[in-house]
Chains A and B, each alone.
Chain A
C-alpha cells in the first residue's frame, strides 16, 4: 500500500493555523482582563525639580531603571502600565493616551504621579 511521505491533513491543518495567526494578528485583542497581559515599567527621567507638566509629559518616562523608589508621594519615580498604553518595540515608549496626572506635594512644592487613563497602573513615587 502506498503511503505519503507527508501528513497531508497535517499540512492542511498547519496552513489553516498560519491563516488564523495572520488574520488574528491583524485584529489584536484589547482586553485588559487577563492576568497574563504584558506590563511595562517606566521610570521618570525628566527634570529633578519636576513641575506638573514634566510629570504629565509621557516622553519624560523611560524604561531604563533609575535610583531606588521609596514609595513616598513627593516626586515621580516609576509607573507600571498595561501594554495597551505602550508603543512596543526595541525601546518601548508611553503613548500619549495614557494621560498621566500629577498632584502637588504642598509641603515641598513638588509634583508626583497620582493617576492615569490606565486604571490598573501601579504607581511608586519617591521622597525628595
Chain B
C-alpha cells in the first residue's frame, strides 16, 4: 500500500515544531526573566511556581509528540488547544482584562506588539488546523475509508 506523504503536512508540522521548540527553549534559556514575568502576571506565587516549570515542560512535550510519527495527530490536536488558550489570553490582554501584561513569551515574540502577536497566533492556528485536516484526509486514503 502506498503511503502518501503530503509535503504541506510536513511544512505545517515542522513550522509548529519550530514555534513550540523556540518558545520552550527560550523560556529555559531566559528562565529568571520568564519567572519574573510570570510573577508579575499572576499575583499568586504558588500558582506561578507551578506554571514556571509546567509551561516549558508542556511545550517541550508537545515538540516530542510532533516529532514521533505515531503521536503526530495527538500532538497536532494538543497544539491547537494550547494555541487557542494563548490566543484567548492575548484577546483578554487586548480587552484590558489584566492589570499587568508582561509577555510570557520569548525572543523575537517579545518585540511584537500584542495585536501583531494575536495575528501571529492566528496564522499558526490556521497552519495547525490545516495540518490536522491533511492528516485526517491522508489516513482516510491509507485505510481506504
- List the interface of chain A (C-beta within 8 A of B): 1, 3-7, 9-11, 13-14, 16-18, 20-22, 24-25, 29, 31, 33-40, 83, 88-90, 92
Contact digits for B37-49, partner A, Cβ 8 Å, 1 yes 0 no: 1001000000000
Is B58 part of the binding interface, using a Cβ–Cβ cutoff of 8 Å? no
Minimum distance in angstroms from A63 CB to a CB of chain B: 9
CA distance A118 to B90 in the complex (A): 27
27 residue pairs of the A-B complex, CB under 8 angstroms, read: A3-B69, A7-B13, A10-B17, A10-B66, A10-B67, A11-B67, A13-B18, A14-B63, A17-B22, A17-B25, A18-B21, A18-B25, A21-B25, A21-B26, A21-B107, A24-B108, A25-B30, A34-B112, A34-B113, A36-B102, A36-B105, A36-B111, A36-B114, A38-B40, A38-B102, A38-B103, A92-B36
Q: Out of B3, B26, B70, B110, name the residue touching A37 (CB < 8 Å).
A: B110
Is there a chain A Cβ closer than 8 Å to B145's Cβ? no
Which range holds the interface residue count of chain B?
35 or more
> Which chain B residues have a beta carbon within 8 Å of chain A's beta carbons?
1-3, 10, 13-14, 17-18, 21-22, 25-26, 29-30, 32-33, 36-37, 40, 63, 66-70, 72, 101-103, 105, 107-108, 110-114, 117
